[in-house]
Structure 1
Amino acid sequence: MTSVSNVAIASPDEGVWPQQRRKILDWLVTETRHERFIDNILVEMCQRLLDAGVPVGRATLHFRIHHPQWIGARILWRTGISEAEIQTFEYGVEETEQYLNSPLYEINSGASVVRQRLGEPGSRYSLYDELRADGYTDYIAWPLEHTLDKRHVITFASDRPGGFSKDHLALLADLLPAFALVSEIRLKNRLARTLLETYVGPHASEKILAGATTRGSGVTVGAAILICDLRNFTAISDLWPRDDVIELLNGYFDAMSGPIESHGGEILKFMGDGLLAIFPLSDGRACANLLQAISEAQTAVATLNEENMLKGHDPLGYGIGVHVGDVMYGNIGSRRRLDFTVIGPAVNVASRLESLTKEIKRPVLLSKAFVEMASCQSQMENLGLFPLRGVGEPIEVYALSGDRVPSN
């Protein structure tokens, strides 16, 4: 079989779309509005293509996404699977040999279509050899054009002897404009959710997307509260190069945030070199989860300090204040700029305990109220009563047994 690349597909006459009205196009335009996820739409579309006699054996969607960790994602469907496979790609993949020598790169560089009949080995791209080995006979890739010239990619492969016919390709081409619109709506919805999760956390993002956007709206919730602050950051930021400071700060936040999030905590905000997190008491293990998060975060910071010391840097110090109580959880701010956060006396106590760590040289301080609720007295050392600024009566303060600020 002769290998053909970049064969132009006949396009409709100007101003005429679609070339032919079909049930699958009607479905795509009018019956997918209740489906939130584009991967589910892709699966059903491919099944409908098979039912219509189009020999699609494999299809992929390749999206560029706005995410702090990933540059893009691939959604893959093959015959015989009921759920699409989703794979994410980290930043830097666009510089790899695998991407630069692929049909995706060709499409993203401006090609309007890439077509390859999968014949003999030794094709231009290794992907073609992989598809051929899996039994596919034909491959085609098109750009999906979104608003403001944002370009993504859709591909189809056939496992039918002889591949796609001219009529098959005409039907697929007819689907592209409608699928571009359908996919853009879902992608923007997913983008909005991802950005909210990135900047305000998963729980707050759910509430905002559900309509909690009015200033002053909120609820009172019981929560274990954790406030953490990095020590001597002002001196570090004054003396270190900017990029080194950012790298250090990101490493510190990774060490603290990972354990908090993995144990059900919600980080509500980063405050310069500090963070505020809550563990809602609706989870019966909230207090135990908070303590486990602190333990794992301390281990992570110790590992980070070992790496920093090998680079000639001093180890990082930190202070953590922990309390429990009711907080107001909701929207606070000006008419045009809101912050979804928690406020209340319980937050103030946690903040004062964090500040107290500087004075008494214990990295983690916990209130009696938290220790009693967590039933963790055996793990704690009672440090006695301490007056806290802005708090009426002195409160009983605990520290983790044997836990002290290391001397430099």
Structure 2
Amino acid sequence: MDAPSIDKVPTTQADSVVDWLTNGTRDERFIDNIFAGMCIRLQQAGIPVKRGTLHVLIHHPQWLGARFMWADGMHDAKIERVDYDVRERSEFIGSPANELQDGATEVRENLERDPALGRKHALYDEMRAMGLTDYVAWPLYHTLGKRHLVTFATSRPGGFDDSHIAALKKLLPVLALVSEIRIKNRLARTLLETYVGSHAGELILAGATRRGSGTTVRAAIMICDLRDFTRISDNWPRDDVIDLLNDYFDAMSEPIVRHGGEILKFIGDGLLAIFPLNDPLACANLLRAVTEARQGMAALNDRNNGTGRAPLNYGIGVHVGDVMYGNIGSSTRLDFTVIGPAVNMASRLETLTKQLGRPVLLSRAFADFVRDEFDLERVGEHPVRGFSEPIELFAYHG
């Protein structure tokens, strides 16, 4: 099963698929769709591919990478995320991916021969059980030395012949170019979603990158801040402080995202989020997120209490109003955020939570949206720094 050099590739098998990859995928955004379409076209070109996988490394806060798997009869590829600790597990150790990561330029396995004579890994046993006869894996080279992985398998008696292998090899440089473009697009989107949020990321990708560009949005605004963080950061080991902040932000952030909010920024131990009022349930969803966040913080404090740590206290200020949503900053460093009196009010209410002894304070303007559905405590009118008239405030106990 030694592969011939690429200059022996027959023009009748590979070229139609190469041409489609080069010219027929320009309007397709997603690499999984391209990969499935490529495998189907390989079959149509007479190359007996029964199964194919594409493994890519990505920069994501939760996932090391992703695997796209196509099998005979499938129209779409199946997508599986890959955990960061996969390299410590048996599914990776001794696998083709392991061999290629260690420097191999090809992994080829004859699945028809006696298993005792071949490579030992559960993947090969699984493929034999599927009736596959031959398997090949190659690194897929992207720029700056980045290596991904593509594999093909067949059920043809005798496996792939030399012309099939040559045709598949001919695809690799074009597949590398096509996949790198899509992966970088996905990477850009993922990084923007991670650092500025999904909605702001979409706007930036759509071209909203000019300083001063933006729009006015009517939204419910939520600002949350951790109490006594300076004392904690001064007295706790650095790694413990980072773990604490991550746990705190998980408890606060996940409900916000789940209920349709947009986290615009983390500011030290604080966060700023908005729920745009183009969703008629935005204000109710914000309070549902607050309820779940408070439950998450209670659970976190219970866990911390078991390790002798003091409970974490926090304040949440909520207001509603028009905000300017867009690019603000210097000529070379921009921030996509919201500004305006409504944001200032939410910030002042968060500060008042400590003075009034209520963890969650709502303005009257916000409370009017939700008073029929949620039980609120009126705490009277209070002066708010920067505003000329006292503001009627409500507490929410979740």
TM-score normalised by structure 2 residue count = 0.96
1:367 counterpart = 2:360: no
User: C-alpha offsets along residues 301-357 of structure 1, whole Å, 9 cap, x if unaligned?
Assistant: 000001111111001000000000110000000110000000010000000000000
1:117 counterpart = 2:110: yes
Cα 1:157–1:180 shift into 2, 3 Å: same
User: C-alpha offsets along residues 4-30 of structure 1, whole Å, 9 cap, x if unaligned?
Assistant: xxx6522235xx9x7646211111112
| The one of 338, 343, 347 aligned to 2:343 | 347
Displacement of 1:80? 1.2
Q: How many equivalent pairs are there?
A: 393
- 8 Å Cα contact 2:2/2:162 also seen in 1: no
* Alignment partners' CA distance in 2, 1:81 and 1:47: 9
* Alignment partners' CA distance in 2, 1:137 and 1:181: 29
* Alignment partners' CA distance in 2, 1:31 and 1:347: 48
User: C-alpha offsets along residues 168-223 of structure 1, whole Å, 9 cap, x if unaligned?
Assistant: 11100000011101101111011000000000000000000000001010010110
Letter in 1 for 2:236: W
Q: 1:73 corresponds to which residue?
A: 66
Letter in 2 for 1:57: K
Q: 1:92 corresponds to which residue?
A: 85
| The one of 367, 382, 385 aligned to 1:386 | 382
| The one of 30, 54, 70 aligned to 1:61 | 54
- 8 Å Cα contact 2:141/2:148 also seen in 1: yes
| The one of 278, 286, 295 aligned to 1:282 | 278
Aligned positions of 1:144-183 closer than 5 A: 144-183=140-179
SS at match of 1:97: coil
* Alignment partners' CA distance in 1, 2:374 and 2:197: 33
Q: Structure 2 unaligned runs (5+)?
A: none
Q: 1:297 corresponds to which residue?
A: 293
- 8 Å Cα contact 2:6/2:169 also seen in 1: no
Displacement of 1:79? 1.0
Q: 2:40 corresponds to which residue?
A: 47
Cα 1:232–1:116 shift into 2, 3 Å: same
- 8 Å Cα contact 1:200/1:269 also seen in 2: yes
Displacement of 1:85? 0.7
Q: 1:212 corresponds to which residue?
A: 208
User: C-alpha offsets along residues 22-67 of structure 1, whole Å, 9 cap, x if unaligned?
Assistant: 2111111122111111111111111111111111111000011000
* Alignment partners' CA distance in 2, 1:138 and 1:94: 25
1:10 counterpart = 2:4: yes
Aligned positions of 1:197-276 closer than 5 A: 197-276=193-272
Letter in 2 for 1:240: W
Q: Structure 1 unaligned runs (5+)?
A: 1-6, 404-408
Displacement of 1:97? 2.3
1:325 counterpart = 2:321: yes
1:29 counterpart = 2:25: no
SS at match of 2:64: strand
Letter in 1 for 2:353: T
Letter in 1 for 2:148: H
Letter in 2 for 1:300: G
Percent of pairs identical after alignment?
62
* Alignment partners' CA distance in 1, 2:320 and 2:155: 61
Displacement of 1:161? 1.8
Q: 1:128 corresponds to which residue?
A: 124
Displacement of 1:101? 1.6
- 8 Å Cα contact 1:266/1:278 also seen in 2: yes
Displacement of 1:378? 5.4
Cα 1:277–1:378 shift into 2, 3 Å: closer
* Alignment partners' CA distance in 1, 2:150 and 2:224: 45
Segment drifting more, 95-104 vs 164-173:
95-104
* Alignment partners' CA distance in 2, 1:347 and 1:380: 22
SS at match of 1:99: coil
* Alignment partners' CA distance in 2, 1:179 and 1:317: 52
* Alignment partners' CA distance in 2, 1:198 and 1:9: 43
Q: 1:138 corresponds to which residue?
A: 134
| The one of 315, 334, 356 aligned to 2:352 | 356
Displacement of 1:95? 1.8
Displacement of 1:377? 7.3
Displacement of 1:376? 4.0
* Alignment partners' CA distance in 1, 2:10 and 2:86: 37
Cα 1:12–1:328 shift into 2, 3 Å: same
SS at match of 2:389: coil
- 8 Å Cα contact 2:100/2:107 also seen in 1: yes
* Alignment partners' CA distance in 2, 1:135 and 1:39: 24
1:107 counterpart = 2:103: no
Letter in 1 for 2:101: N
